[in-house]
Amino acid sequence: MDETWVRHYTPESKQQSKQWTEASFSAPKKTKSVPSARNVMASVFWDAEGILFIDYLEKGKTIAGEYYSNLLTRLDEKNREKRPGLQKEKIIFHQDNAPAHKSVLAMGKLRDLHHEYELLKNPPSSPDLASSDFYLFPEFKLFLAGQRFSSNQEAIAAVEGYFADLTKKCISLKGDYVEKYR
């Protein structure tokens, strides 16, 4: 599980905005763009088979212990619904060290859920365990770059479409997390 901001506008990266020009011509000037201040927080719960569910934080709300505890309840429900073969299996769960994730409410909720969850330890400042930061979100941010959304609903629809396609791709790759390049 991990969270990411979905901005109503994310400028293209330098790599994305490059264009070919003839040697005798200079590249056209581009104005500097800044990301939109309007955004929505997406909490993405996923496994090797794809996305389990995505929650979108309401405007003006923050992810605190009670809110996150409720997300864990929804995760457990989605696991029972989408992964019925895991009913009696221990689930290894990874989250970062955010205060809401480590709150007494969240830790208690993980112990009380239907499934048995084993919390994978996350050392402080250890990005190598945050696999979403290496593949899931960078590719997602590339997808968003250059797109403009006029509302949270438009942004959410784009997120849902992207991750639905990613889930299909994950199934076709038979659970391999990263595509293999030759």
Answering whether pTM is above 0.85, one says no
Which pLDDT score, from 0 to 100, does residue 125 have?
62
109 occurs within a structural domain: yes
The label of the residue with tokens 């003839």 reads 22
Asked whether residue 126 is domain-assigned, the answer is yes
- DSSP codes joined into one string, 19-80: ----TTSPPPP-------S-EEEEEEEEETTEEEEEEEPPTT----HHHHHHHHHHHHHHHH
Say what the pLDDT of residue 54 is: 96
Residue of higher predicted confidence among 166 and 32: 166
Q: Which of 137, 134, 133, 131 is nearest to 163 (CA)?
A: 137
Residue 12 belongs to some domain of the structure: no
Residue 11 lies in a domain: no
* Structural domain includes residue 17: no
Report, as an integer, the average pLDDT of 114-132: 72
CB count in 10 Å sphere of residue 96:
17
Residue 125 located in a structural domain: yes
Residues of the domain holding 76:
2-6+37-172
Region 131-148: what's the mean pLDDT? 83
Lowest-confidence region among 2-16, 105-119, 141-155: 2-16
Mean pLDDT computed over every residue of the chain: 80
CATH number at residue 66: 3.30.420.10
**Which DSSP string corresponds to 75-127?**
HHHHHHHH-GGGTTSEEEE-----TTTTSHHHHHHHHHSSSEEEEPP--TT-G
pLDDT at 59: 80
The residue among 161 and 85 whose pLDDT is bigger is 161
Separation CA 176–CA 162 (nearest Å): 18
Task: Say how many C-beta atoms besides its own lie within 10 A of residue 148's C-beta.
Answer: 11
Q: Is residue 27 part of a domain?
A: no
Give the count of domains, the chain: 1
Residue 182, pLDDT score: 40
- Please indicate, yes or no, if residue 23 is contained in any of the structural domains: no
